[in-house]
Amino acid sequence: MYLLSIDLWLILEKAILVAGIVGLSFFIAMYTTYAERKVAAWLQDRRGPNRAGPFGIFQPLADGGKLFFKEEIIPLSSNKFLFILGPALAMITALVASTVIPWASPFITEGGNVIPMQVADVDMGILLVFGIVSVGVYGIMVGGWASNNKFSLLAAIRGASQMVSYELPMGMALIAVLFMTGSLKMSEIVSSQIQNGWHVMYQPLGFIIFFICALAECNRTPFDLPEAENELNFGYHQEYSSMKLGFYLFAEYINMFISSAIMATVYFGGYDIPFVNEASWGLSPFWMTFISFSVLMIKICFFLFVFLWIRWTIPRFRYDQLMNLGWKKLIPLALINMVITAAVMLWLNK
Amino acid sequence: MQLTNRAKQVDRKPMTFLESIYLWNIVKGMGITISHLFKKKATINYPEQKRTFSKVFRGLHVLNRDAEGRENCTACGLCAVACPAEAITMEAAERLPGEEHLYREEKYAAKYEINMLRCIFCGLCEEACPKDAIYLSETFAPANYGRKGFIYKKNDLLIPHPIKEKEAYEKALGGRVVINK
């Protein structure tokens, strides 16, 4: 009856981890909205929000509260079920993708139990992320279609085709990494980087391609065509108001957070501290886990900053430019990168 | 026809491969934006910090008193005539015996109103006044919920009493108003 016996400790452990990660995602997303406004202001020689609390740090709470109390409008001609499903899907897919990321080095209890700081170390790790990100398209599609509005539908179609076409070079850039690790498991990807050095050193081109595609997947500027404010009246979430709109916007920030985490994990060594062997410091397990977690967070925050920085620098691409860049530039580059990596790997292993 | 020598020929060469990836130009642009992160912000945090007005700033009107606290205004109406926006209304009254400590001359303004929504703060009233009775101060009309709130009555305009409310008087003076000799 082994199959029926349930390890309650495991469930508790995972439940705490899940709650922690979801809470963290929300917290980071909240403060990314604040950081977005602050960084935008700084890059434009302004000061940014500074009224709510010291340095305006309660601004996200005020924004969230405002969204909750706004009037909620569901258009009469919309499909109500799908209209509500849209933002829910966007949010769920954004949150689910964080399951396979190893957030810190495993925590070793005094009894010798190893608690991985990862909700699920599934064998197909990174592939799962791709699958979930692909489902994320439905959030946009369903929302745009259910609004029964031409602009929303147009934007949703744009968004869907954009995400589908940028998944290709993203996946190809990643295949080159998988050649080096030989595993799809996120924990193995990290541990191979701890041993052999970060992937970004071997795969700079692959990283750039991955990064550009991540921008496109998160619908961030310069690829924010699905929600192009001045062409499509906010795109697929035009008919949304109140917290449903908030969910769409929030899901975008969580997506940013998760894709930053994936980039840090896949290319920048995850929770690894560069140039040092932290295992030799002889720290207590708690501090080891804490430090490795902080290191990952620093990397993530750096990527988040770059996301914001890019948004307030580069204007939006035209749609044909977007497609040209995706299909005619990034895919060939990713293919070349893949072939070269394969050839070098073969040559080295001979 | 060439008007200036600043015109630049537009480069219409097709983009090279590196240019068509946009990467290098994007990096350059990001360098420009990040440099702004460290620049001094021009913004003044208004309620906490206030910018100093120029010496000739023309703000809210003040009805002046002399050193003994008597109103200077004699309701001659020259300011109302000079006013291009027709913002000033007044009614004159005769000073009664026993009111010498209130009004400097035998005629005074019983009612004196300035509509701040009409006023263009040109300062012509200040120039027209023969009695040094009206000045434009360094403050500006605060926001209000109704139009009526912008019609400033005599009580709103009068400078505080120089003897009874010395501090408020000096503050209102602000180094601008010349005390009547």
**With contacts defined as CB-CB under 8 Å, which chain B residues touch A325?**
21-22
A121: exposed, middle or buried (Cβ count in 10 Å: 0-12, 13-18, 19+) = middle
Domain boundaries, chain A: 73-349
B44 inside 8 A of chain A by CB: no
Element (H, E) at B62: strand B61-63
Range of the domain at B112: 61-173
CA distance A45 to A48: 9
Residue B25 lies in a domain: no
Residue B181 confidence (pLDDT) above 50: no
Q: Which of residues 179-238 of A touch B (CB under 8 A)?
A: 208
List the single residue in A44, A313, A329 with the smallest CB-CB distance to B20: A329
Residue A1 confidence (pLDDT) above 60: no
B18 inside 8 A of chain A by CB: no
SS3 assignment, position A57: coil
Q: Position A339: which residue type?
A: V
Q: Does the ipTM exceed 0.85? A: no
Q: How many domains does chain B have?
A: 1
Residue B44 confidence (pLDDT) above 60: yes
CB contact under 8 A, A46 and B41: yes
Q: What is the CATH number of the domain that holds B164?
A: 3.30.70.3270
CB contact under 8 A, A313 and B21: no
Question: pTM here?
Answer: 0.80
Alpha helices in chain B (DSSP H): 17-20, 23-37, 78-82, 124-128, 154-157, 166-173
Residue B50 lies in a domain: no
Q: What is the phi/psi pair of residue B93, to 5°?
A: -145, 160
Nearest-5° Cα angle at B133, B127 to B135: 55
Long-range pairs of A344-349 with CB within 8 A, sequence gap ≥ 24? A345/A179, A345/A180
B33 inside 8 A of chain A by CB: yes
A336 inside 8 A of chain B by CB: no
Of B15, B18, B30, B45, which to mutate for an interface test with A (greatest number of A Cβ within 10 Å)?
A: B30
A42 Cα to chain B: minimum distance (Å): 5
Tell me: the pLDDT tens digits for A307-332?
A: 999 988 888 888 888 888 889 888 99
Tell me: the pLDDT tens digits for B124-156?
A: 999 999 988 998 888 777 788 888 888 999 988
A44 inside 8 A of chain B by CB: yes
Tell me: the pLDDT tens digits for A328-350?
A: 888 999 999 999 999 998 998 87
Tell me: the pLDDT tens digits for B52-61?
A: 878 788 888 8
**Which residue has better confidence, B110 or B5?**
B110
CA distance B134 to B125: 7
Residue B175 confidence (pLDDT) above 60: no
- Position B180 scores a pLDDT of 45
CA distance A276 to A279: 9
Residue B8 lies in a domain: no
CA distance A108 to B63: 80
CB contact under 8 A, B21 and A312: no
CA of B109: how far to CAs of A157, A177, A327, B89, B91, in Å? 73, 88, 82, 10, 6
B24 inside 8 A of chain A by CB: no
